[in-house]
Amino acid sequence: MSILRRHLLTRHSVLPGFGLALGYTLLYLSLIVLIPLSATFFKTATMGWPAFWHAVTAPRVLASLRLTFGASLIAATINGIFGLLVAWVLVRYQFFGKKLIDALVDLPFALPTAVAGIALTALYASNGLIGSQLEPLGLKVAFTPIGITVALTFIGLPFVVRTVQPVLEELEAELEEAAASLGASRLQTFRRVVFPAIAPALLTGFALAFARAIGEYGSVVFIAGNMPMVSEIAPLLIITKLEQYDEAGATAIAVVMLVISFALLFAINALQWWSARRTREDL
C-alpha cells in the first residue's frame, strides 16, 4: 500500500522528476553557496600551511575569534531563554498590546543593521539614556564586549521566537491538563510534557541565532569600539585586512570561522536530531 501511494504521489507531483529536481537543486546550491565558499578555500591554499598557521594564530586574530564566538554563544543562550519566554507569553496569554509586541519581535529583521548599531550605541553610551544610569554603577556597556553581546542578542531574538512560537501554538493544552490531573506540578509538566515537544524547535532557533551572530557586522561595529585585543570582532578584522590588501590573511580568518561555525552547527543539528528521535520514541 505504501509503495502504491508513493507511486501515485510521484506521478501526480507538481514538481518535475527526482533526477531533474535534484539537478537544479545542486546547480543552484553550487552557484550560491558551494562555489563562493570553495573560492575562499582556494585563495587560502595559495598561502601555504606555515603562512596560514602564522596568520590564524596571531594574538590579534585569536582574540577576535574568542570574542566573536564567545559573545555569539552568550547572546544565543540569552535568546534561547528569553526567546522561549516571549514566545510562551505571545501564545498562551491574551492582553492589550499583544499584536504590537508580536510585531516588535520582527523589528530586528526589518531594521537595517547599521541603524540598530547606532541606536544601541546612543542608548548605552556614557551619555545615553541607559548608559548614563549604568556607568555610575561601574557597568560600562558601549565600546566593550558587553555592548557586543547586547547587539548580538538584539539581532538574534526573532530567530528563537519565530521558531518556537508555531510549535507552542500546535501543542495541545489537553496534555498539560492531563498531566496536572495526574498530580504533576507545573515544573514537572513543563519538564516532561512541554519541553520535550519544543526542544527541537528551541535548538533550531538557538542554532540560527548563533549562526546569525557569528557573521554580524553592521549592528556591532558601532557599539564595539573596535579596539584590537579588546573589542574587535573577527568580521571587522577581515574588513581591516582587505583594506590593507591582505586578501590571503582575510580569507584565512574566514576559513577558520567557516570551519568552526560548520562544526558547531553540525553538533547542534545532531543534538536536535537526537532530541527529536527521543521524543518520537517516548510518544
Residues 97 and 206 in one domain: yes
Residue-level pLDDT at 31: 84
- C-alpha cell read off for 10: 510521484
Residues 160 and 191 in one domain: yes
Residues 8 and 112 in one domain: no
Residues 226 and 135 in one domain: yes
Residues 182 and 252 in one domain: yes
Residues 6 and 133 in one domain: no
Residues 98 and 206 in one domain: yes
Residues 80 and 185 in one domain: yes
* Cα 240-246-248 angle, rounded to 5 deg: 120
**Selection from 228, 226, 217 nearest residue 257 by Cα:** 217
CATH number at residue 215: 1.10.3720.10
What value does the mean pLDDT take over residues 23-51? 83
Residue-level pLDDT at 1: 46
Q: CA 212, 217, 218, 224: dihedral to nearest 10 degrees?
A: 120
| Crossing angle of helices 59-92 and 195-214, rounded to 10° | 140
Alpha carbons 128 and 138: distance in angstroms, whole number: 15
Residues 29 and 52 in one domain: no
How many domains does one find in the chain?
2
Residue-level pLDDT at 129: 87
Residues 40 and 137 in one domain: no
* pLDDT, averaged across the chain: 84
Lowest average pLDDT, out of 87-101, 134-148, 181-195, goes to 181-195
Residue 86: helix, strand or coil by DSSP? helix
Lowest average pLDDT, out of 103-107, 160-164, 275-279, goes to 275-279
Residues 164 and 197 in one domain: yes
Provide the percentage of residues in the chain whose pLDDT is more than 70. 91
The whole domain housing 255 covers 48-282
Residue 77 has pLDDT above 90, yes or no: yes
* Cα 55-142-117 angle, rounded to 5 deg: 80
Q: For the chain, how many residues are written?
A: 283
pLDDT tens-digit series, residues 205-217: 998 899 889 988 8
pLDDT tens-digit series, residues 135-187: 888 888 888 899 999 999 999 999 999 999 998 888 877 777 777 777 777 77
Residue-level pLDDT at 8: 46
Residues 139 and 21 in one domain: no
Q: How far is CA 240 from CA 50, 233, 235, in A?
A: 22, 11, 9
Residue-level pLDDT at 261: 83
